[in-house]
Amino acid sequence: MGLTAKIRTRDGWAVSHAVVTVTDMTGTQVLRAEADAEGAVRDTTELAPGAYTVIVTAVGYAPAASSAIVTASGRAEVGAVTLARQGGSELPPPGPWTIDPAHSSVAAVAQHLGISSVHGRFTEFGGAIEIAPDDVTKSRVAAVIRAASVDTGNGMRDTHLKSGDFLDVERHPEITYRSTGVTPAGSDRWTVHGELSMHGVVRPVDLDLAYLGTGADPWGGTRAAFRATAELHREDFAMNYNQVLQAGIAAIGTTLKVELDIQAVQGDTLPQA
């Protein structure tokens, strides 16, 4: 009996200080519970069958409300509740922002042997974001990645990825991305249209962007957080190497899932920390 819920941020982290309040149809509070260190709420208060409103609050996050039905067993399973950072329905304040590589990641996942995945990342990159003051759809982003910084945790594989079969880092040392436009895709989600240059080939690539919020950092600056994803096909960038197994399965998948976790610092320079 009672209520169970899991409180998460938009990028999947537990919100350990969340508070769940349940009211009945008259607006009377019937339950109040706090999330544990894992963002889980497990309260054994017996509730009468019926409809209730569940309100989740946490400092630094916008409140979330949903409906819940308590069954004859007295149990209400709210499931996962996602909280957005306050200000998450907008974009950061206008002006320049600098991507902080030390607190950001550029990663990609490829299928391997048709049964598992290989995860890789680039360790050297940088970039800038410009939030337009009057029309946010005119905001811009530009990034540069050092191709030779690819790291999959396997030296032999990384050497192959740097060769002419794939990135060909000797002839094409940089991977660049420049936006060409931004369109809204939800209250805190955007589609960034842009051009990706890789392996000497330029192709249009859209990023599905979620703005996770803005807050102060320990060094006196202001930071904004984003998460972006995209799907690339390596043959679009003239990386056609493949080894086909006897069963006709490609050893390395041709589709790459790109995952970007970005922190940007307000201003055009990074703090000394």
Residues near 19 by beta carbon (within 8 Å), at least 6 away in sequence: 32, 33, 34, 35, 56, 57, 58
**Which range (43-57, 86-100, 189-203) has the least confidence?**
86-100
Q: Does 259 score more than 90 pLDDT?
A: yes
Query: Is 230 in contact with 204 (CB distance < 8 Å)?
Result: no
Nearest to 192 by CA among 137, 236, 233, 232: 137
Indicate whether 250 pLDDT > 80: no
- Mean pLDDT, rounded, for 71-86: 80
- Predicted pLDDT at 273: 44
Q: What is the pLDDT of residue 243?
A: 52
CA torsion 67→69→74→77, rounded to 10°? -60
Mean pLDDT over each residue of the chain, to the nearest integer: 85
User: So where are the chain's domains?
Assistant: 2-83, 95-266
Higher pLDDT, 124 or 83: 124
The three-state DSSP-derived secondary structure of 144-181 is EEEHHHEECCCHHHHHHHHCCCCCCCCCCCEEEEEEEE
Using alpha carbons, select from 216, 223, 219, 225 the residue that is nearest to residue 272.
Answer: 219
Question: 175-187, pLDDT tens digit by residue?
Answer: 999 999 999 887 6
Q: Is 152 in contact with 118 (CB distance < 8 Å)?
A: yes
Per-residue pLDDT, 84: 76
> What phi and psi values does residue 24 have, to the nearest 5 degrees?
-85, -175
Reported as a single tens digit per residue, the pLDDT across 203-224 is 999 999 988 888 888 888 889 8
Model confidence at 112, pLDDT cuts 50, 70, 90, reads low
What per-residue confidence (pLDDT) applies to 61? 80
- Does this chain's domain 2-83 share its CATH topology with 95-266? no
Class of the domain covering 95-266: mainly beta
**DSSP characters for 185-197?**
-SSSEEEEEEEEE
CATH number of 2-83: 2.60.40.10
Tens of pLDDT, residues 151-164:
999 999 899 899 98
On whether the CB atoms of residues 110 and 255 are closer than 8 A, the answer is yes
pLDDT at 205: 96
**75 has a pLDDT exceeding 60:** yes
Q: How far apart are CA 23 and CA 56, in angstroms?
A: 12
List C-alpha distances in Å: 71 to 48, 50, 74, 90.
8, 7, 5, 38
pLDDT tens for each residue of 165-174: 889 999 999 9
pLDDT at 135: 84
Residues 21-63: pLDDT tens digits?
Answer: 999 888 888 888 899 989 999 888 888 888 899 999 987 787 8
CB-CB contact of 7 with 18 (8 Å): yes
